[in-house]
Structure 1
Amino acid sequence: MSNMVFPTLPGLAWNVARSPQWATRIQKAVSGKEFRSAWMSAPLYTFRLQYEVLREATAYQELQQLVAFYNNVRGSFDSFLYRDPNDNSVTAHSFGTGNGVQTAFQLVRSYGGNLEAVGQLNGAPSIYINGVLQATGYTISATGLVTFSVAPINAAALTWTGNYYYRCRFLQDTMELNEFMNSLWEAKKVEFIGSLTPNRI
């Protein structure tokens, strides 16, 4: 599992596609009634990027950055971290309520009211109890689990501010790159699948 971060390159075109994906098993009885089983508790996301221009010249080396990154993770073999331009941070976001007993709480983020666990942090987040910044008295695991040394009191509001990544892997073991002018390249389809939830990819 790699912690390499997908490069930010200026030639990225619109539109960037991000599609939530679920897995449902559907069986039909003789009567025609359906029985459905959900195989996932949180979605995966398929990302599709398109680069209109990747400069190869020594002063830029955008093509080289993308190819080197792809080769370093060996196509779809290894995972990496991706910072979604529009979904990468929270401010004063709730991640639980104290009850005087529980000490461990998973960091989460809400997207339109849907909660997902956040497992890949970008930097150290700020943790608050009842709006007061906590400098000490807790640890944060590599999967976003906050463990307090003393259980927060009953009804204490737990919030966090910070940045996060998606953990992803490429969908294919081949990346098509086209040189449309001297030292100017394009990548019409760069696809990968990812998740906010830890231990998925």
Structure 2
Amino acid sequence: MSDVLFPELPGLEWDLRKTPVFNTKIMQSINGRELRASFQAIPKYEISMSFAFLRESKGRQELQRLESFFLERRGSFDSFLFKMPEDHNFECTFVGDGATTTFQLYKQAYNLKIPILHTESLGKVLMWNANDQTLMWSTDDQRLMWSNDFYQITNDGRVVFNRLLAMGESITISGTFYYRCRFKDDAQEYTHFMAKLWKASKVEMIGSLGNKI
């Protein structure tokens, strides 16, 4: 399980399909009544990308980058991180309880909060005081508008504050997250249709917001 990123290929036209998949066991009795057991609280995703073309010319080596990445992963053997186009930003709001400094980041999917375990790490980020009436500087022992308070985002999906959040204190954090993926199959097909231009029939992956793939 590696943390290498799936190569971004800017400037290319692509189609992407994302299918959330659950795992449910359904048992049916003689009278037709169903008993159902759910084995997943959050979905896995079937992800399919297709590119209009891939170039292999000097300076534009999308084919080489994609094929090399597939070979290095040994097909479906090794997993990697994937920055889903237009689905890689999180915005989380946390409310303090006076006892917690570390919080789990999540993706908001309507009314559902899905934990995310792979994020872009950030070093110390200074925090503004939420009270806009607070002084910018003072000799008194109080929290100023711009203080030494900070938070850090780890690459395993947590935000860590350097102090306890007071009861009812609200903080909103934003950043970038990734899907944990593997290639669906051990084979990848490329079609050469013009000089130095190729097509990849499909790049198919199995993904998750956690580690279970």
Report the TM range for the smaller structure's normalisation: 0.7 to 0.9
TM-score, length of structure 2 as denominator length: 0.81
In our comparison, the structure showing a higher alpha carbon Rg is 2
Gaps of 5+ in 1: none
> What does residue 200 of structure 1 align with?
212
Q: What is the one-letter code of the residue matched to 1:80?
A: F
Kept in 2, the 8 Å contact 1:130–1:157? The answer is: no
Q: Percent identity?
A: 35
Please name the residue that 2:110 is paired with: 112
Q: Tell me by how many angstroms 1:30 deviates.
A: 2.9
Letter of the aligned partner of 2:39 in structure 1?
A: W
Map of 1:8 onto structure 2: 8
Shift of 1:146: 3.1
Could you say what secondary structure the match of 1:122 adopts?
A: coil
Match of 1:158 in 2: 171
CA distance in 2, matches of 1:127, 1:46: 38
Query: How many residues of Structure 1 are paired with residues of Structure 2 in the alignment?
Result: 197
CA 1:188–1:200 in structure 2 vs 1: closer, same or farther (change >3 Å)?
A: same
Counterpart residue type for residue 47 of structure 2: F
Q: Which amino acid aligns with 1:42?
A: I
**2-side partners of 1:105 and 1:90: how far apart?**
14
Q: Shift of the alpha carbon at 1:137?
A: 5.8
Tell me the residue number matched to 2:62.
62
- 5+ long unaligned stretches in structure 2: 132-145
Q: CA deviation at 1:5?
A: 1.0
Provide the rounded CA distance (Å) in 1 between the counterparts of 2:30 and 2:24.
20
Output the CA distance in 1 between the equivalents of 2:55 and 2:101. 51
Structure 1 length-normalised TM = 0.86
Cα deviations across residues 66-103 of structure 1 (Å, max 9, x unaligned)?
00011111111111111111111134x31x32212334
- Of residues 112-121 and 171-180 in structure 1, the stretch that sits farther from structure 2 once superposed is 112-121
Aligned to 2:72: 72
C-alpha distance in 2, partners of 1:44/1:170? 13
